[in-house]
Amino acid sequence: SLDSKEIERSIDTCILLAKNNLSSGYYFPGKGTIPNISISDAKIVQDPLGIKNDSTEELLSEIKQQQEIQPTFGRFSVHIDEVFLRNSNNLNLSTLKTYFLIELSLKAQENGKLAEYWPYQYIKEKDQLNFPVRIKKWAKLAQDTLIAQTPKSNNKATIIFSPQVLSNAINPVIGAHASGKAFHQGLSRFKIDEIAASENITIFDDGLMKSGFNTNGWDGEGSPHQRNEIIRKGTFQKRLYDQKYAILENKEPTGNGVRTMSGGVENGVSNLEILPGDMNLEEIISQINE
């Protein structure tokens, strides 16, 4: 209402609320030292269509060489993301990111049996595409599905997890319990300098990892990315903080403010890295007797 009495009443209400309210304790990150990291391929930026066409021809050529499988669907795309971050503390950041997407359906058939392998993967660098090795591996997975059998029940069986399965299992668990958010809410099972895993396990969250898919000089809030050691030989070392929970816990942010698709920020991980052991996959498999 534009009635003068209503306006005066609204002003009085605002003054009363202002006396009772506390100012926000949150503040945006300001200018700082941001690691200078390139996450784009200049050749892709200059000629994305040419790169896509050449890569597609190579992909189709490799598929044709696999006589035992037939493609029923395929998608290959080149992506260029331009990301900006500006705030009221004079932070002004921008970067270009390039990457690829491959989605295929590969069908294998033998003696009336039909199997299909349907990979869907984002790939950061062009040299990681490696179509000769990748397509041969995917074709074998499609063929192996034809002879796959349900394993016999065995409570002492040795299980080897694929990187994809391991990622889906570890990322949400380690990422959640190592976060400042979980600690602030009293939900974290990890305590600094206490055992959190096998002594054979050392885990980093590396926002600066070379060719990492989530690598960048800064996180979703503008804090510098870091290489954070979360677990060292089984012992929990460090919590991961975004801006909000760093303020609440009186800590420095560790570069773990992850920008979501909706535009919000979550306290999460960038690139989790488990340091390798001294055995390759073939050696591990050779020691399994069952």
Please provide residue 203's backbone torsions phi and psi, each rounded to the nearest 5 degrees.
-130, 135
pLDDT tens per residue, range 85-143 = 999 999 999 999 999 999 999 999 998 899 999 999 999 999 999 999 999 999 999 99
Q: Is the C-alpha dihedral spanning 185, 251, 234, 280 positive or negative?
A: positive
**Is the pLDDT score of 1 beyond 70?**
no
Global pTM reads 0.85
The conformation of residue 126, written as its DSSP 8-state character, comes to G
**Bridge partners, 179 (sequence order):** 240
Q: What is the mean pLDDT of residues 188-204?
A: 97
Can you tell me the mean pLDDT for 200-216?
97
Q: Which tokens hold the place of 146?
A: 């034809």
Backbone angles phi, psi at 167, to 5 degrees: -60, -45
Which backbone phi and psi does 9 adopt, to 5 degrees?
A: -65, -40
CATH of the domain spanning 42-146: 3.30.2290.10
Write the pLDDT tens digit of every residue in 129-177: 999 999 999 999 999 999 988 888 888 888 888 888 989 999 999 999 9
Extents of the domains making up the chain: 42-146, 163-274
Supply the DSSP string of 227-249, one letter for each residue. EEEEEETTEE---B--HHHHHHT
Angle between helix 131-146 and helix 48-64 axes, rounded to 10 deg: 40
